[in-house]
Structure 1
Amino acid sequence: MSSIDQNEPSAMGPREAALNNAARAESRQQPEQTQATGAGVNTGAGTTREKTETESQADREYEERMEEEYAKRDGGA
């Protein structure tokens, strides 16, 4: 069996190598994904802070919208 790495430019034709290089360059340009932070997020540290009134209000509004959406799907509204 061969131990050629398929992502190695020498194992590719010129078109594949160019596409591979472009993909690597694009992935370097994309911003890093950030992890969610805030109240209620389990960071594994064992502590959470209390939600602010604004966060609690946003949660209530979100839950209301979800209930309305589910009711529409079930034919209730």
Structure 2
Amino acid sequence: MKEKLKNQKLLVLGIVFMILFNFPILSIVNHDTKIKGIPTLYFYVFTIWILFIGIIYWSVRNEEQEINKDE
């Protein structure tokens, strides 16, 4: 049951981040402005990418700790 819940969480995360990397959202941040010398689009993509990796790591790690507790 917990494995199914973990898979569902990862699926929802994947869908959310696919939406964040899709055209309408990317066009919102595609300006000629810069944040600390980095173009806004690059800053957005790399920030979302790092958040995606961190949230997946945190989610999978918490699920593994809960499974180990139950055993």
TM-score normalised by length of structure 2: 0.34
| Greater C-alpha radius of gyration | 1
Which one scores higher on RCO, CA 8 angstroms, separation ≥ 6?
2
Q: Which has the higher strand share?
A: 2
TM-score normalised by length of structure 1: 0.31
Q: Which has the higher helix share?
A: 2
